[in-house]
Amino acid sequence: MRFALLGTGRISGWFARTCHDSGIAEPAIVYSRSQERGEEFARSHDIAAWSDDLDAILADPEIDAVYVASPIPAHAAQVRQALAAGKHVLCEKSLAVDLAEAEELVEAAKKADRVLLEAVRHIHDSAMETIRAHLPELGRIWSASFEMIQYSSRYDAFRSGTVLNAFNPELGISALADVGIYPLHAAVQLFGAPRRTAAMTLSLPNDFQASATVLLDCTSTVVTCRYSKVTHGVTPSVIEGEDATMTIDKIAEPSEIGLHYRDGRTRTLMSVPARRPGDTMTGELEVFAQLVEAHDVDHRFHAQTLAVQAIVDEITAQAGESAPPVR
């Protein structure tokens, strides 16, 4: 499968490497509005071609699929254009800026008879399968707490008075989009769409939403999602059942997964050296390739995308209802 990569950010580089390593996909060309940035990215990621002409890329019959890794607000237009050109589309999370846009893009893919998949790396990672496979051993599951509490290196600059893009709310960036999305996707993947959402979000003086806690009522299980770009988390994510509790060191890229029984026994389900985000994109690429191979355009992952986007919209609405940020 020959991919056109849209975007030259860090995640696009990880995806290029994932393709090279996969044996099933080739990063054939990279698109950038800047020829210079495109060339630099192509050369440093072993990609044969680059271009600033998206129409020409999409008109190329040698290109099978498009990987969209532009800023979130730019996703919709590029996804629509790629689908209209007959390409399959793997689009970085979040697919859309809100639920209405996400629903429109899913419908557009079905009408175009092409595969559209949101690239949510951890739900397609083999570690998620390990987690799911062992849930029955926990007994009835009452609660879970999924965390992604990561102090951003860019926050040092913010505290010194310089607002870098990573903390600029006008670019559609937030702790929710950057890190919160991981615990939310894990919750929906494992426990289904919630029937209620309660969120409390805290913002920086420039209105950047920096930290939040979200409760999801998943009928028989309450899931807490905690995320932040301004503090340093030290506790694992946990799933608590009547017979045992499961711990997951990092919900976005697990390397240690354990079972803790009430009698004190423990059991290691996964233990590998710490993984980087770029090490966990193979699953999503393989799932995408399988969907394309099966020409499964109306697949089950659309429901996951839409359920999480509905939660994101609800969190955003509740943040708007909150008192103004503490200054």
Q: Kindly list the residues in this chain that would bind a copy of itself in the complex (CB under 8 A).
A: 142-143, 145, 149, 151, 155, 159, 195-196, 198, 200, 202, 210-213, 215, 217, 219-222, 224, 226, 228, 230-236, 238, 240-242, 244-245, 247, 260-262, 322-323, 326
CB of 163 to a copy of itself, least distance (A): 16
CB of 95 to a copy of itself, least distance (A): 28
CB of 60 to a copy of itself, least distance (A): 47
Based on CB atoms, which residue is closest to a copy of itself, 49 or 177? 177
CB of 145 to a copy of itself, least distance (A): 7
Specify the 3-state DSSP secondary structure of 210.
strand
Based on CB atoms, which residue is closest to a copy of itself, 276 or 327? 327
Angstrom distance (rounded) from CA 305 to CA 97: 12
Alpha-carbon torsion angle 226, 8, 307, 187, nearest 10: -40
Angstrom distance (rounded) from CA 220 to CA 50: 50
CB of 237 to a copy of itself, least distance (A): 9
CB of 130 to a copy of itself, least distance (A): 18
Orientation of helix 72-84 relative to helix 99-112, angle to 10°: 20
Whose tokens are 């629903």? That residue is 103
Dihedrals φ, ψ of 202, to 5°?
-115, 140
Based on CB atoms, which residue is closest to a copy of itself, 117 or 239? 239
Q: How many residues does the chain have?
A: 327
Q: Are 109 and 297 in contact (CB under 8 A)?
A: yes
Q: Which residues contact 88 (CB under 8 A, 6 or more apart)?
A: 64, 65, 66, 114, 115, 116, 288, 291, 292
Whose tokens are 């806690």? That residue is 213
CB of 133 to a copy of itself, least distance (A): 20
Based on CB atoms, which residue is closest to a copy of itself, 7 or 241? 241
Based on CB atoms, which residue is closest to a copy of itself, 59 or 200? 200
Q: Which of 194, 200, 144 is nearest to 175 (CA)?
A: 200
CB of 185 to a copy of itself, least distance (A): 19
For the chain, the distance separating the N- and C-terminal CA atoms, rounded to the nearest angstrom, is: 51
Based on CB atoms, which residue is closest to a copy of itself, 106 or 187? 187
Based on CB atoms, which residue is closest to a copy of itself, 223 or 306? 223
CB of 235 to a copy of itself, least distance (A): 5
Q: Which of 82, 236, 59 is nearest to 146 (CA)?
A: 236
Based on CB atoms, which residue is closest to a copy of itself, 145 or 189? 145
- Helix residue spans in the chain (DSSP H): 10-22, 35-44, 54-59, 72-84, 99-112, 126-134, 154-159, 175, 181-191, 282-294, 301-321
Based on CB atoms, which residue is closest to a copy of itself, 108 or 166? 166
Q: Which residues contact 50 (CB under 8 A, 6 or more apart)?
A: 29, 30, 31, 32, 35, 38, 39, 41, 42
